[in-house]
């Protein structure tokens, strides 16, 4: 049950009675202030907080102003702010932690259980490659490449846990600062990684170097699709080439074409976006990928494009537990 103070605050904020709303807001305990601010919605919350900071600072109540500013950050960023007001009691920080832990899994929130599953997969060899990055991300919440901090999106944790649950996953690369979804840099300079490059899955090598290894590659891509958790993904499909980052070999294309002369430059997104198999060059590959998408309808594709010859690029736009 919301307290009377919270009900009064919400009513005053909606009526744009900022002075009253400020006083009611200031009276709330942290565990109630956070969900109350969230419920107001971004627009009303933004106005109220702006007014409250003015009003409270004007009265010289700087501690109160900083506490509201901090709470607003928690709600807006769904994470603990990098600043903590000097006189904010520790139990209010604990309230914020509890509030964040109870949020639906999105953004940076991920359960300890899922992190433990990923760590266990690393320890037992079910996930191979980039294990240092994974261990650091799961244990410390981030990885530092020597210069920069990179965090792993929650969807990545869910996807890594799902893919390694009953199959072995070999990764070539994952966190790369300022390289597209492998390390998208935010305003705070911290990058978020939401993509992995898979070279082997369930013993199937995903590799079209020189145009060989077609059956394994198609089967490996399908096996990945089969085991994705519910979510939204993008696939950078394997394309044949003599070497990594090498030139196209259009006569050996399997998935989408890579043929700049014929209007298919690198990374061109196939159509329709969710399932461009009609444009696949190899009909068996089209059939197999179609069947895999049909078997796992809760894993939705946002788009597909052609990528490197020696891996499947898997971008996790969002994902949750299976």
Residues forming contacts to Zn ion in the complex (CB under 5 A) are 197, 313
| Cβ–Cβ under 8 Å, residues 32 and 3 | yes
Please give the residue whose beta carbon sits closest to Zn ion in the complex.
Answer: 313
Compute the least distance from the CB of residue 310 to Zn ion, in Å.
11
The least CB distance from residue 260 to Zn ion, in Å, is: 20
- Taking the C-alpha atoms of residue 78 and residue 92, their distance in angstroms, rounded to an integer, is 15
Supply 307's token pair: 């990528």
164 vs 199 by CB, closer to Zn ion: 199
Q: Can you read off the two tokens belonging to residue 297?
A: 């309808």
Least distance from Zn ion to the Cβ atom of residue 313, Å: 3
Considering beta carbons, is residue 126 or 313 the nearer one to Zn ion? 313
Q: What are the φ/ψ torsions at residue 311 (nearest 5 degrees)?
A: -165, 170
**How far, in Å, CA of 192 to CA of 226, rounded?**
26
Complex with Zn ion: residue 23 or 197, whichever CB lies closer: 197
Half-sphere exposure in the Cβ direction for 263 (13 Å, CA): 2
By beta-carbon proximity to Zn ion, the closer residue of 10 and 197 is: 197
Whether 148 and 189 have beta carbons less than 8 Å apart is answered as: yes
Q: Which is nearer to Zn ion, 24 or 157 (CB)?
A: 157
C-alpha separations of 300 from 142, 162, 291 in Å: 27, 15, 13
Nearest distance from C-beta of residue 182 to Zn ion, angstroms: 6
CB of 258 to Zn ion, least distance (A): 15
DSSP code, position 266: T
């Amino acid at each position: 049950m919301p307290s009377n103070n919270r009900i009064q605050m919400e009513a005053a904020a909606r009526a744009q009675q900022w002075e009253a709303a400020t006083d009611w807001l200031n009276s709330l305990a942290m565990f109630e202030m956070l969900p109350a601010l969230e419920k107001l919605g971004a627009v009303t919350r933004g106005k109220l907080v702006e007014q409250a900071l003015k009003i409270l600072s004007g009265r010289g109540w700087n501690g109160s102003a900083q506490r509201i500013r901090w709470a607003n950050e928690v709600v807006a960023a769904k994470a603990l702010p990098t600043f903590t007001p000097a006189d904010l009691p520790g139990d209010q920080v604990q309230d914020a932690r509890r509030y964040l832990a109870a949020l639906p899994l999105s953004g940076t929130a991920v359960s300890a259980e899922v992190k433990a599953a990923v760590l266990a997969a690393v320890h037992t060899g079910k996930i191979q490659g980039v294990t240092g990055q994974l261990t650091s991300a799961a244990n410390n919440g981030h990885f530092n490449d020597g210069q920069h901090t990179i965090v792993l999106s929650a969807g990545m944790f869910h996807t890594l846990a799902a893919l390694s649950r009953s199959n072995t996953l070999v990764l070539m690369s994952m966190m790369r600062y300022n390289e597209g979804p492998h390390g998208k840099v935010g305003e705070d300079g911290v990058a978020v990684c939401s993509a992995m490059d898979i070279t082997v899955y369930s013993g199937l090598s995903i590799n079209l170097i020189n145009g060989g290894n077609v059956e394994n590659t198609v089967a490996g891509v399908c096996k990945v699709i089969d085991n994705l958790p519910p979510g939204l993904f993008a696939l950078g499909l394997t394309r044949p080439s003599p070497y990594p980052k090498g030139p196209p070999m259009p006569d050996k294309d399997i998935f989408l074409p890579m043929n700049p002369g014929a209007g298919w430059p690198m990374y061109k997104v196939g159509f329709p976006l969710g399932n461009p198999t009609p444009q696949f060059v190899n009909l068996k590959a089209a059939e197999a990928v179609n069947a895999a998408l049909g078997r796992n309808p809760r894993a939705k594709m946002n788009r597909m494009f052609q990528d490197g010859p020696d891996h499947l690029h898997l971008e996790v736009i969002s994902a949750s537990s299976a």
